[in-house]
């Protein structure tokens, strides 16, 4: 199957595209886009990969599924389009960055600027039906994104994996902690942020690790 995804990722994930689960997933997703309102726009389904080639990845942040309200999702986890109000979790992420690094809260919640520096903003599920959180879970996306994480864990060295919340931490169980730094805390959601997200200093810890391994820090 010919999937339109960034070349370096295509080369590594090609084996997934011909598996039965991915063929079924593709048929499901095509029908969903044809008959319902689905986010993100179809051309941005693989945006996380397209904006962050395999060999350029330095940090991986794992999310769950795309935002499901109009105009929000752009294929990068936690990210929203320019001009869209910050969802509560993203607002808390920016608060922690300010507390951790002293950086000003940005005017835009579009995290493409992180992706271009090597931050893979990977949702476990890459599509969602409007107003229905989790509606495309257990259709095959999780197997596909597990494969991406596995490839990074086993073929790259000295990456930072950031896992917020129990869901992301379960998804990251296969990461080789001898080769990479794995940072864990509760989710930045308002329901949990005060129980250990604020003050986790994941952004400075990630940068310290990158610099210690000869890589350029992320401008968060």
Catalytic residue from among 2, 18, 65, 104: 65
Give the SS3 label for residue 32.
Answer: helix
Sign of CA dihedral 160, 25, 75, 43: positive
For 165, the token pair is 């919340």
Q: How far apart are the C-alpha atoms of 195 and 202, rounded to whole Å?
A: 15
Whether 65 is a known active-site residue: answer yes
Q: How far apart are the C-alpha atoms of 71 and 89, rounded to whole Å?
A: 17
Note whether 49 and 9 are within 8 A (CB): yes
Tokens 């600027």 identify what position? Answer: 113
- Outline where DSSP puts E strands in the chain: 38-39, 59-63, 119-123, 128-129, 160-164, 181-185
Nearest one of 123, 131, 111, 108 to 51, comparing CA atoms: 111
Residue 193 phi/psi, 5-degree rounding, is: -55, -35
According to DSSP, the residues that pair with 161 across neighbouring strands are 60, 182
Q: List active site positions.
A: 65
């Amino acid at each position: 199957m010919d999937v339109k995804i960034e070349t370096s990722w295509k080369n590594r994930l090609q084996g997934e595209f011909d598996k039965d689960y991915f063929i079924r997933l593709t048929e499901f997703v095509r029908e969903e886009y044809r008959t319902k309102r689905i986010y993100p726009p179809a051309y941005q389904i693989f945006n996380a990969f397209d904006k962050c080639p395999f060999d350029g990845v330095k940090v991986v942040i794992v999310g769950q599924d795309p935002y499901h309200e109009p105009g929000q999702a752009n294929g990068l986890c936690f990210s929203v389009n320019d001009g869209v109000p910050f969802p509560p979790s993203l607002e808390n992420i920016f608060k922690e960055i300010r507390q951790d690094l002293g950086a000003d809260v940005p005017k835009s919640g579009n995290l493409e600027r992180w992706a271009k520096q090597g931050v893979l903003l990977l949702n476990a599920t890459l599509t969602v039906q409007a107003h229905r959180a989790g509606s495309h879970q257990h259709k095959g996306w999780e197997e596909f994104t597990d494969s991406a994480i596995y490839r990074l864990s086993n073929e790259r060295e000295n990456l930072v994996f950031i896992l917020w919340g129990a869901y992301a931490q379960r998804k990251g169980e296969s990461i080789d902690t001898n080769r990479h730094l794995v940072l864990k805390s509760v989710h930045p959601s308002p329901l949990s942020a005060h129980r250990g997200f604020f003050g986790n200093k994941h952004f400075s810890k990630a940068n310290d690790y990158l610099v210690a391994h000869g890589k350029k820090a992320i401008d968060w």
